[in-house]
Structure 1
Amino acid sequence: MLATKTRKPRIRDAEATQKRILAAAKQEFAKKGLGGARVDDIAERAKANKRMIYHYFGSKEDLFQRVLEDAYVDIRTAEQKLELDHLDPKDALERLVRFTWKYYLDNPEFLTMVNSENLHKARHLKKSKVVQDISRRLVTMVDTILERGVKQGLFREGIDPVQLNITIAAIGYYYLTNRFTGAIIYELDLMSRQALDTRLQFNIDTIMRLVCK
């Protein structure tokens, strides 16, 4: 009985430690990338022993892959919770565009993590069945919206859901990852409330003009 009583607190302690490590690693990798992040700094931020990081996650590379997987799972899970199948196709597509924009704004570390992984030619994502499986859901979801729109005579036929997904991501991603250089080039505060609202409306209009008859 004593072993049973002590096991649950130990399990909870282990889970709490892993969560702290993952949260700390997310911040460090987002700030410094895989190459710049140090396990010592992650351990200090997580208030954990460096040995525990290697015990739970194996290596810095493996920890980065786990953080990256969690980041993709988070956005894909949030997309599924939008329940777009219950909406008019136009409303569903607009909600997805709005969601993507807001998610990028609320989770800037996601963008920097993606940037970092691209620098490494996606070598971690290539090994991740988790990301591959969950990402297919987004393509299926958008394909379903397009099919419903075509059947209702709202959308053009033959639109590739993969290309549309890429465009929805790109029109928000580029704006935000290039906001500093863009502010100089265009002499505009791209992160002001007015500029952000204007950009969101432009994104929505762009996608609708691509798909609507």
Structure 2
Amino acid sequence: MADTTTRKNKKDQSVRKILNAALLVFATQGYNGARVDAIARKAGVNKAMIYYRIGNKQALYQAVIHDIYQDRAAQLRREIQSISNPEEKLKTYIASVAAIMDAHPHFTRIMIREMVSGWANFSPAIFEEVSVTIKIVQTILDEGVEKGVFLKTEPLAVHTMVIGTLILNHLTQPVKNQIMAALASPESPSDNKGFDQLVPQVQRLVIAALRPAGVKHE
């Protein structure tokens, strides 16, 4: 039994090394430019192990994306389960998206590449995983409309607004810091806020855009 557990742990560690290396290589080289040889070298494993544990390059790419998305929807459902306020639920969703980017900083580069390519390398299974999150957003928006705190809006439009804003800000943080420094004056020194401090601003702007005229913030 102990030997079986040890072998399983070694297998899990090998797969984790492969996925981490693949994430970095796909982010920097793109899907077409990435090579399984380079991923194997980065992971410190034999190329044959990648094919044996996961599969070819396409299977490896899907595994990397799935590794990031897996269980996210279930976790989001758990987080909003005890929240009765639709605005707070939407804030939790936005924070959840930001947390993915914070936990996997190279993932934003993959997403940008996919946007430019028209999502050419995303499989139907990945789109299905993404759609589960959008269905949760739909439920939050419907509840907000019912309670009179949100305008009726397409969930995909909200999801795209949140994803696009957070990805762009995540990738351009160093440039933003330089711009803010250039705009600073002795009377108004630069305040280089990190990505985590951007989240409340995105939450506030998205909710303000969804709020009907005359409805005040709770």
Contact kept in structure 2, 1:179 and 1:191, CA below 8 Å: no
Q: Distance in 1 between matches of 2:97 and 2:12?
A: 30
Q: Distance in 2 between matches of 1:188 and 1:71?
A: 37
State the TM-score, normalized to the length of structure 2. Answer: 0.76
Q: 1:40 to 1:194 in 2, by over 3 A?
A: closer
State the TM-score, normalized to the length of structure 1. Answer: 0.78
1:207 aligns with: 206
Task: Establish whether residue 168 from structure 1 lines up as the match of residue 162 from structure 2.
Answer: yes
Instruction: Quote how far apart the aligned CAs of 1:184 are.
Output: 5.5
Q: 1:65 to 1:202 in 2, by over 3 A?
A: same
1:93 aligns with: 90
1:25 aligns with: 22
Deviations 1:118-149 (A, max 9, x none): 34432321x332x2222222122111112222
1:134 aligns with: 129
Q: 1:56 to 1:102 in 2, by over 3 A?
A: closer
1:193 aligns with: 193
Instruction: Quote how far apart the aligned CAs of 1:196 are.
Output: 5.7
2:215 aligns with: none
Percent identity of equivalent pairs: 22
Instruction: Quote how far apart the aligned CAs of 1:49 are.
Output: 1.0
Q: Match for 1:128: what amino acid? A: P
Q: Distance in 2 between matches of 1:151 and 1:209?
A: 17
RMSD: 3.1
How many residue pairs get aligned? The number is 206
2:172 aligns with: 178
Q: Distance in 1 between matches of 2:124 and 2:108?
A: 18
Structure 1: 5+ residue stretches without partners: none
Instruction: Select the structure that is richer in helix.
Output: 1
What are the residue-to-residue correspondences of 1:36-185 with 2, within 5 Å?
36-73=33-70, 75-84=72-81, 86-125=83-122, 127-129=123-125, 131-156=126-151, 158-183=152-177
